[in-house]
Each structure stands twice: as C-alpha cells, then as structure tokens.
A and B are shown apart, each in its own frame.
Chain A
C-alpha cells in the first residue's frame, strides 16, 4: 500500500542530544513537509521541500535541520539548539507545491525530553 511512514512513533531526547525523525513515502510525491503540533496551537510548518536536494525554512525552523537526498525520504533532525522540542511531529507529502492538491500525512512521532 502507498503511504507515508514515520518512525519511531515515540522518541525521547536527553539534554544536549540531537535526534533524527524519519519520514519515508512511496507515493512518488515531489513535495514533502514537516509540521510541529502543540496542544492548542495547531500545526506549524518547520521545513518543506519541493524537489530533491532543495528545501526551504518554514515558520519555526530554528533548532531544526533537514535533508532531501532522495525523493522518498525527508528526515528531520532536532538539534540541541531547540530548547523546547517536546511536541508531536507530523510529516506530509503532496504531488506538487503551491496548488490545491491535498496533503498526505504520516501517523506522527511524539518527541519528549528526558
């Protein structure tokens, strides 16, 4: 079945540690996105990528980094510079950027700080 797979489902980070969240899609979508979800704040865009080897900052990119070396993969690294990383992280993809195409979402990763 086609879809988006995020792993792990739960992740714990120690102080000063970098952690990487995985996102893989087999939908052959060009565009991929990372959103952060906090209670009562909806979804906020961290980074997005329209094409391989290219990505742009979203509204809250500080303390995060991404790469897009392959079309199907868009991993997100939460660095030690992100002082409040506890949140639910959602990865999404779509066929093209800037159109009325819908987003397909993964099932999310809950990141917590030890």
Chain B
C-alpha cells in the first residue's frame, strides 16, 4: 500500500547548522507531497508542498524537491534557528477520491543556541 518513510529522530543541531530530513514514499499513480510542522502542544501546519515531479516547494527558508526517480521529498534548510525546533511530518496524497493524507512517523528536530 501507499506509505511514507522518514528518517528516525531526534535530530539535534546547533543554531545555523544545515538541516536535512529524509523522506521517501511508496505510492501508486502521481501523489502530491507535503511537509507539515508541529510545534509543542499544537496541531499541524502546512510548511510546503509539491504536486508534480521536479516541483520545488519552499517556505520560511525550508525547501524540498519532488524526485520521482528516487521517490523522495527530502526537507532542507541552510541555517536552522532555535525557533525551528518542532516535529516535522512528511505526507502524501494519492489524489484519488475516498483517500486522505498519509503521514510519516514524524522527525523531532531540536536546535540549540
């Protein structure tokens, strides 16, 4: 079935370090791909998305490129801040009626000053 696999956390970085969180997917058809972020005690917020191969989603310094050949959607940021500490979820939507978003297990990022 359709699924999303994220790298295990937690990821611990110093401020201004480079961030990569790996995400790969298995899906039939041509899914849309998403990154959501969850701050402590809150719901999820959409961070960025890409709807077709080679699209790059970007927001708040974060980027991810839809790579169909490697079925990946890795999240990157060039210089993390303490305020980026949160849980990050990769997700896909197979764009078929009667389906909902499928989420990865989440990766916890902790950034220290």
A41 to B49, Cβ gap below 8 A?
no
A42 to B104, Cβ gap below 8 A?
yes
Checking B41, B46, B95 against A99 with a beta-carbon cut-off of 8 angstroms, the contacting residue is B95
B-facing residues in A24-51 (Cβ within 8 Å)? 33, 35, 40-43, 45, 48, 50
Q: Could you say which residues of chain B place their CB within 8 Å of the CB of A40?
A: 105-106
Most buried by B among A40, A92, A98: A98
A42/B99 contact (C-beta < 8 A), A100-B93, A108-B42 known: no
Q: Could you say which residues of chain A place their CB within 8 Å of the CB of B34?
A: 102
Q: Could you say which residues of chain B place their CB within 8 Å of the CB of A98?
A: 93-99
B-facing residues in A93-114 (Cβ within 8 Å)? 97-100, 102-103, 105-108
Number of interface residues of A (CB under 8 A): 25
Q: Kindly state the interface size class of chain B when it binds its partner.
A: 20 to 34
> With the chains together, A83 CA to B52 CA distance in Å?
41
Answer whether residue A90 sits at the interface, using C-beta atoms and an 8 A cutoff. yes
> With the chains together, A106 CA to B45 CA distance in Å?
9
Answer whether residue A18 sits at the interface, using C-beta atoms and an 8 A cutoff. no
Extra contacts besides A42-B103, A42-B105 (13): CB < 8 Å: A6-B43, A42-B106, A43-B106, A50-B97, A50-B98, A98-B95, A99-B95, A100-B51, A102-B46, A102-B49, A103-B101, A105-B43, A105-B45
- Residues on A lying within 8 angstroms of B by beta carbon are 4, 6, 33, 35, 40-43, 45, 48, 50, 56, 58, 90, 92, 97-100, 102-103, 105-108
- Residues on B lying within 8 angstroms of A by beta carbon are 32, 34, 36, 41-46, 49, 51, 89, 93-101, 103-106
